[in-house]
Amino acid sequence: MSDLYLEVNLHNLYYNISRLKQIIDKNTLIMAVVKSNAYGHGSVEISKALKDDVDYLGVGFLEEGVLLRQNKVELPILLMGPTINFEVAYINDITLSITSVEQLEQLVSWTNINEKIIKFHLKVDTGMNRFGIKEDDLEIVSRIYDNSKYAKLEGVYSHFATTYKNNKSYVIKQKNLFDKYVEYFRNRYNDLIYHLANSENAIDFKDAHYDMVRIGNALYGPSNSKTRIGLKDIGKLKARVIYSRKVKTGEYIGYGNSYRAKKDMIVGTIPFGFYEGMGLMKKPIGSKFLSYLIYYLKEIYRYLFRTKTIVYYKGQPLDVLGKPNMQYTIIDMSHINQKNKDDILVQVRVSPIFIKESVERKYVTEV
Shortest Cβ 217–ligand PLP spacing (Å): 4
Binding flag, residue 159, ligand PLP (CB under 6 A): yes
Tell me what percent of the chain is helix, strand and coil, each rounded to the nearest 5.
35, 25, 45
Whichever of 82 and 273 has its CB closer to ligand PLP, that residue is 82
Shortest Cβ 357–ligand PLP spacing (Å): 18
CA distance 246 to 327: 21
Binding flag, residue 162, ligand PLP (CB under 6 A): no
Shortest Cβ 194–ligand PLP spacing (Å): 14
Whichever of 51 and 130 has its CB closer to ligand PLP, that residue is 130
Shortest Cβ 60–ligand PLP spacing (Å): 6
Note whether 247 and 259 are within 8 A (CB).
no
Binding flag, residue 216, ligand PLP (CB under 6 A): yes
DSSP alpha helix (H) spans, the chain: 10-21, 35-39, 43-49, 62-70, 86-91, 101-114, 138-146, 168-186, 199-204, 217-220, 289-305
Q: Please, which of residues 57-116 interact with ligand PLP by CB under 6 A?
A: 80
| Number of residues lying near ligand PLP (CB under 6 A) | 12
Integer angstrom CA distances of residue 48 from 153, 157, 159, 339:
26, 25, 25, 41
CA distance 101 to 107: 10
CA distance 318 to 307: 9
How many helices (DSSP H) and strands (DSSP E) are in the chain?
Answer: 11, 20
Whichever of 80 and 336 has its CB closer to ligand PLP, that residue is 80
Q: Please, which of residues 290-319 interact with ligand PLP by CB under 6 A?
A: none
Cβ neighbours, 10 Å, residue 361: 20
User: Which of 121, 214, 323, 361 touches ligand PLP by CB under 6 A?
Assistant: 214
Interface stretch with ligand PLP, choices 132-140, 208-216, 310-318, 348-356 (CB under 6 A): 208-216
Note whether 80 and 59 are within 8 A (CB).
yes
* DSSP-based three-state secondary structure for 335: coil
DSSP 195-229: E---HHHHHH-GGG-TTEEEESHHHHS--S-SS--
Site string for ligand PLP, 29-68 (x = CB under 6 A): ----x-x---------------------------------
Interface stretch with ligand PLP, choices 42-50, 108-116, 193-201, 300-308 (CB under 6 A): 193-201
User: Which of 9, 16, 198, 244 touches ligand PLP by CB under 6 A?
Assistant: 198
Whichever of 208 and 311 has its CB closer to ligand PLP, that residue is 208
Shortest Cβ 352–ligand PLP spacing (Å): 13
Q: Which stretches of the chain bind ligand PLP, using CB under 6 A?
A: 33, 35, 80, 159, 198-200, 214-218
